Amino acid sequence: MHIGPLLGSGRTADVYALDGPWVLRRHRHGIDTTGELAVMSYLAASGFPVPRIGPPGEDALPTDLVVQRLEGPTLTEALLAGTVTEAAGADLLARLLRELHAIPPRLSQDPEDRILHLDLHPENVILAPEGAMVTDWLTAREGPACLDRAMTSLILAQVALDPSFTEGGHLRGLLAALLSRFAADGGVPADCLARATALRAEDPRLTAHETAALDEAAGLVASLTDPGAAHSRR
C-alpha cells in the first residue's frame, strides 16, 4: 500500500491519499478500527450511504481504515457558501437519521434499539455527486433513536454557542429547523438529552471549553424544543 500525501487531520485520525479511488484514515492513540469497519460494512449491505470500504493492504495497521475518496463539499461548507439553505440542511440531516434508524440493529436484541452514529453533524456529511454520504463511524453504537437525535442537536448547539465560530447564527437557525423536523420522529425527550449530555462530557476529544459549555448547549436545545418548559425552569 503506497501512502500518498496527508490530506487532512481530525481530532482522532489523519487522512492520506492512496492510489486509485481510496484514502487511508489512520487513527491516532491506538484506536482500533475493527468496530467501525463492522458497522460500515453492515450499513453498506443495508443500503445506507456510507463510503465504500477498500482493500487494507498487507502492511495495514489495526488503526487503519481504507475508504472511498469522496468528492464534494461537506454540508458545513455548503451551508456557509449558501448553496444549501438551513431548511434544506435540516431536511437532509433529519432524513439521514430517519433512514439510519429504520435499519435493524446489528447486535442488540432489544426491538427498540437502533444503530446510532452519535456524531452526525454537517462536517460528517459529504455532498458527493452520487448523493449525501455519512462518514466517521468511530462513535457508533446501538441504543434508542432519540439518543442520536439528541446528540446531533447537542453538537450543533455547542458550535452555535462557540464565540470563535462567527457563523453561529446560521447554525442556530439550522438547529431550530432540525428540531422542528425531529418532532415528527419522536423529538428530543429530556431524558435522551440528559443522556447525550453525559455521554458527550465523557468524550476525551472535547476541549475544556467545549466540556464547560455543555450545560448551556443542552439548555439551548431544550429551549428550542419546548420554549415553555425552558422558561419555567428559569
Question: What are the residue ranges of CATH 3.90.1200 in the chain?
Answer: 75-233
- Using one digit for the tens of pLDDT, what is the confidence trace for 64-89? 889 999 999 999 999 999 999 999 99
pLDDT > 50? residue 230:
no
pLDDT of residue 58: 66
Domain covering 3-68: architecture: 2-Layer Sandwich (3.30)
In angstroms, the CA 106 to CA 103 distance is 9
Q: CATH number of 75-233: 3.90.1200, 1.25.40, 3.30.410, 1.10.3470?
A: 3.90.1200
Average pLDDT value for residue range 77-102 = 96
For cell 460494512, name the residue: 41
Rounded to two decimals, the pTM is 0.90
48, three cell numbers: 445506507
- Using one digit for the tens of pLDDT, what is the confidence trace for 46-62? 999 999 999 876 677 78
Question: What are the residue ranges of CATH 3.30.200.20 in the chain?
Answer: 3-68
| Residue 209 C-beta-side C-alpha neighbours within 13 Å | 6
Lowest mean pLDDT among 128-132, 175-179, 207-211, 222-226: 207-211
- Exposed e or buried b per residue across 85-107, where buried means at least 16 C-beta atoms within 10 angstroms of its C-beta: ebeebbebbbebbeebbeeebee
